Amino acid sequence: MRDLLIPWWNAYSFFVTYANVDGFADAEVVHPESDNVLDRWIVSSMETLIADVTAAMDAYDLQRSVRPFVKFVEDLTNWYIRRSRRRFWKSTNDGDKLCAYRTLRYVLVQLAKVAAPFTPFIAEEIYRNLKGAGDPGSVHLCDFPTANAAARDLALESRMAAVQTVVELGRRLRADNDLKVRQPLAEIRIAGADVKGLEDLIVDELNVKSVAHIADETELCDVSYKANFKTLGRKCGPKMKAVAAAIAAMKSFDGAATVEGVEIAAEDVVITRAPKAGLVVASEGAAVVGLETALTPELVAEGLAREFVSHVQSMRKEADFEVTQRIEVTVDADADVKAALEAHADYVKNEILALKLGFGVCEGATVDLNGHSARITVAPVAQAGV
C-alpha cells in the first residue's frame, strides 16, 4: 500500500503547490473538456479504473478491486504529471494550462472517492481540500462514482500503452549501450506498435529528433529463429528434428504457428535479433524498436546544453529556490561549451528560468559537462524584474 499512498500524495502535493502559485481556484470540480491527448487519456483511464474496481467489488473480490489502483497511480504520477509539467510551468494562464489544472483536480477528486473505502483518511484529506463548493462536506457522504462510458477511449488507452512500451524499450537501450539520457539521438524506428498520433511523447521522453514507422522488423535487424528444445521436446517426440529444421527456416513468427503438425507457442521459439549497422535494437511482444547511435556535432552540442540544464536545476534545488524564482547564471567554460549554450540559449534560459546567461571568469562550483570542465554561478533575480 505504501507504493500507492506516497505517489498519490505526491501527485496531490504537486497540484496544490502550482495551484497556489497560479491562484487557480475554480469554485466547482468540473468534468474537463480538453483537446489535449494526455488529458483525454488520464480521464479515460480514470473511468476504466472506476469500472474495474466496481466490477471487482460487485464480485466480492477485494484483492482484485485493489490491484488497479497501483497501475493507475503509476500512470498518473510517472506519466501524466511528468509529461504535463511544462503545462503547469507556463508563465501565462492560457487555455491549455487551465485544462491541465481542471483535469488533474477532477482526477484527484474522483480517485479520492473511489479509494475512500480502502484508504479512508488520506482520501478524506485530499477530497476536503479539492472538492467543489457545492460538493458534500466529506468524501464518505459522496456516492461511489459510476464509470462514464462516454468518457472512455479504449483505443487511446491502447495506443498510450504502446507508447509506454516503446519508451521503456528505448530507455533500456540507452542504459544497456551507455547512451546518456540527456544526449539527443537522431531517430527511433518502430515496428509492431501502434503509436501514430503520439509520436511527440516519444520524441520528448527518449530525447530523439524523429520517429520512423517501419513496416517490418527486418528493416531494423536480421532475425533468426531456433527451436527451444526444453519446451518442445515433450511436444514433438520423434518429430523434434523436423520441427527444429522448420523453425530455423521460418521467415516470420507472430507467437503461434503449426509446424510439422505440432502447435508451437511463443515460448517454443528462441528469437535472435542482430541489429543493422548504426542501430541498437530491443523488443517486447510484437513491438521492436531501433535507436540510431551516430552523433553529429549538432547533437553533441545539444547534449552539452541539456547536461548544463541538469546541473543548474540541481543547483537551484540545493539553493532552495522557489519553483518560480528567476535567476541569472554565469559560466566559465571552454569554447565548445560556450558555443553549445549560445546555440541553445533560449532552451536553456526557459528550462532554468534564467533572465540572464553570461560568460566569464567566476568562482562557482566546478562541474563536468560530458567531459568538459566548467564553473557555474547561480544568483536569484528580484521578482520585480520578471
For residue 287, pLDDT over 70 is answered with: yes
pLDDT band at 218 (very low <50, low <70, confident <90, very high): confident
pLDDT band at 235 (very low <50, low <70, confident <90, very high): confident
Q: Residue 2: its pLDDT value, please? A: 62
Q: Which three cell numbers stand for residue 216?
A: 517490418
What digits encode the pLDDT tens for the residues 162-193? 999 999 999 999 999 999 999 999 999 999 99
pLDDT band at 383 (very low <50, low <70, confident <90, very high): low
> Mean pLDDT, to the nearest integer, of 7-13?
96
Mind giving me the DSSP string for 294-312?
---HHHHHHHHHHHHHHHH
What digits encode the pLDDT tens for the residues 101-136? 999 999 999 999 999 999 999 999 999 999 999 999
Q: Which three cell numbers stand for residue 341?
A: 549554450
∠ CA 263-269-274, rounded to 5°:
150
Per CATH, is 2-152 categorized as 1.10.357.10? no
Task: Assign 3-state DSSP to the chain and report helix, strand, coil percentages, each to 5.
Answer: 55, 20, 25
Q: Supply the DSSP symbol for 81.
A: I
What digits encode the pLDDT tens for the residues 300-317? 999 999 999 999 999 999
> Mean pLDDT, to the nearest integer, of 57-80?
93
Backbone phi, then psi, for 161, in 5-degree steps? -65, -40
Q: Residue 255: its pLDDT value, please? A: 84
Total residues found in the chain within this entry: 386
Average pLDDT over the chain reads 93
Is the pLDDT higher at 364 or at 129? 129
For residue 63, pLDDT over 70 is answered with: yes
> Mean pLDDT, to the nearest integer, of 352-381?
93
For residue 89, pLDDT over 90 is answered with: no
Q: Residue 90: its pLDDT value, please? A: 74
Q: Which three cell numbers stand for residue 26?
A: 475554480
Strand ranges for the chain from DSSP E: 185-191, 208-213, 221-227, 256-259, 262-265, 269-275, 279-284, 287-292, 327-333, 354-359, 365-369, 372-380
> Mean pLDDT, to the nearest integer, of 196-208?
96
Q: Which residues are CB-neighbours of 287 under 8 A, at least 6 positions away?
A: 162, 165, 166, 169, 190, 191, 192, 193
Is the pLDDT higher at 19 or at 365? 19
pTM confidence score: 0.83
> Mean pLDDT, to the nearest integer, of 193-201?
95
Backbone phi, then psi, for 276, in 5-degree steps? -65, 160
Q: Residue 252: its pLDDT value, please? A: 83
For residue 385, pLDDT over 80 is answered with: no
